[in-house]
Amino acid sequence: MKKRVVITGMGAVTPIGNSLETFWENAKAGVSGTDRIASFDPSDHSSQVAAEIKGFDPTTFIDKKEAKRMDAFVQLAIAASDMAIADANLPLDHIDLTRAGVLVGSGMGGLKTLEEQHRILLEKGAKRVSPFFIPMEIINLAPGQLSIRYGFQGINISVATACATGAHAIGEALRYIQRGEMDVMLTGGTESCITPLSVAGFANMRALSTRNDDPTHASRPFDKDRDGFVIGEGSGILILESLEHALARNAKIYAEVVGYAATADAYHITSPDPEANGVTRCMQRALDDAGISPKDINYINAHGTSTPFNDKFETLAIKRVFNSHSNNVVISSTKSMVGHTLGAAGAIELIAAALSVKHDVVHPTINYETPDPECDLDYAPNTARHVTVNAALSNSFGFGGTNASVVVKKYISNN
């Protein structure tokens, strides 16, 4: 028998809010976090817009000296984790820390540090490279730092599956609790790689929007005039607990995590399968894992990147899995507001899905102005929707043809 798993705490640092509450209020209001890139001069880049975090001070959470020894992606993970643990009211001095684990991923890791230290190497020589370069840059130092910070002595690993990272991290954390190996998992994703090199790379593969004269409308998932994604940054962290552990300490519960699946397209390094076979199987397997039918899903938090192919093929997959019910399920894309936060996307978006389950509100897909005949479902355009959300599905797909779907539903004590 699989143990039941619930969400008891969440934290978020995003382009539309540096706390869970601010993120959710701005998401419901349809606030765009996209603007012209401010962290460097993007004038010679074809794409000059991004969804950057505003007003974040890492020293609010981390000692100034220590913060200087951490890349931004780790700083964001610590901030979101502090929020999640506080939100869960998790008593670190009264739980078995050998059964508390960390599984947090990043798609790109310390790219900011890598670019900066490479510049120093070229300009000042090898002896000037920071001795902290390696632990600042490598991806598993996000969960490593978190494990040290909170004393979690259970599993301590990371995943790196591009844009599906956050969802895979949560899904694999779910399994550790379901199998009875862990009682508590701190899990999610974190990313901060809005850099000259990263933006140039994504732009030169024609993945990014070039709506430079109208940044707030650049991310427009499922809209006919979408022209690419907007790169974002942020971190989403969740506290998962076995139901019995949560009940024993009288924890509040946002939602129950009931299903997870991961599949591969086995098609192309960047392009999604035009038949959407891998995505279709992923959603169906997640529903099967949850033990529910497509008709039980009220809301889908779509991968919804605002790229021509992804939105079209995700729509196709939804139709294949949900059949006639695809016209009844409400769909929205968090990326329309926060951009594509890469390795953090799946976690931030599952947070949105869990809040929809908790509060029966679906945030909108903003900038939806011109319907696309090939994207003809209900994408909750531009205005939040008050609708009963008993169960929600969150999709995340990544380069390399890697897919993840996670199902959450309302917690009911006797089921």
**β strands within 313-410, DSSP E:** 330-332, 361-362, 385-386, 391-398, 402-409
Dihedrals phi, psi of 209, to nearest 5 degrees: -65, 145
Query: Domain of 342?
Result: 260-409
Asked, for residue 43, whether it belongs to a domain, the answer is yes
Nearest 10 degrees: Cα torsion 214, 220, 223, 224: 50
Residue ranges of E strands in 54-105: 100-105
Domain match, 244 and 355 both: no
Question: 297 to each of 80, 95, 167, 283, 294, how far by Cα in Å?
Answer: 28, 34, 18, 11, 6
Q: Is residue 232 part of a domain?
A: yes
Instruction: Let me know whether 338 and 195 are in one domain.
Output: no
Asked if residues 341 and 14 have their Cβ atoms less than 8 Å apart, the reply is yes
Instruction: Based on the fold, state whether residues 64 and 200 are members of the same structural domain.
Output: yes
The answer as to whether 353 is a domain residue is yes
Are residues 217 and 268 both part of a single domain?
no
Average pLDDT over residues 3-30: 98
Same domain (yes/no): 28, 93: yes
Q: Whole-angstrom distance between the N-terminal and C-terminal Cα of the chain?
A: 14
Question: How many structural domains are present in the chain?
Answer: 2
Q: Rounded distance, CA 121 to CA 116, Å?
A: 9
In a domain, 235, yes or no: yes
Q: Alpha-carbon distance 220 to 236, whole Å? A: 22
Look at residues 248, 268, 303 and tell me which one is the last residue of a structural domain.
248
Q: Are residues 147 and 234 in the same domain?
A: yes
Among 9, 33, 31, smallest CA distance to 88 is for: 9
* Segment 38-56, tens digit of pLDDT: 999 999 999 999 999 999 9
Same domain, 266 and 239: no
pTM to 2 decimals?
0.98
267 and 228 fall within a common domain: no
**Which residues are part of the catalytic machinery?**
163
Q: Indicate if 158 and 9 belong to the same structural domain.
A: yes
Q: What pLDDT was estimated at residue 278? A: 97
**Residue ranges of E strands in 222-306:** 234-242, 255-264, 299-301
Task: Report yes or no on 254 lying in a domain.
Answer: no
What percentage of the chain reaches a pLDDT higher than 90?
Answer: 99
pLDDT at 414 over 90: no
Residues 398 and 350 in one domain: yes
Residues 237 and 326 in one domain: no
- Give the CATH number of the domain where residue 187 resides: 3.40.47.10
Residue 53 lies in a domain: yes
Is the pLDDT confidence value at 94 over 70? yes
CB 27 within 8 A of CB 20: no
327 and 397 belong to one structural domain: yes
Pick from 213, 248, 283: which residue ends a domain?
248
Mean per-residue pLDDT over the chain, rounded: 97
Query: Which token pair is 311?
Result: 């939105």
pLDDT class of 1 with cuts at 50, 70, 90? confident
- Among 181, 213, 248, give the residue marking a domain's end: 248
pLDDT tens-digit series, residues 220-245: 999 999 999 999 999 999 999 999 99
**CA 308, 311, 317 angle in degrees (round to 5)?**
135
Helix (H, G, I), strand (E, B) or coil at 9: strand
* Mean pLDDT to the nearest integer, 107-121: 98
Q: Identify the pLDDT of residue 314.
A: 98
Q: Is the confidence at residue 188, as pLDDT, over 70?
A: yes
| 414 within domain boundaries | no
Asked if residue 255 belongs to a domain, the reply is no
Rounded to whole angstroms, the maximal C-alpha distance in the chain is 65
Q: Which residue has the tokens 């008891």?
A: 8
User: What's the confidence (pLDDT) of residue 415?
Assistant: 53
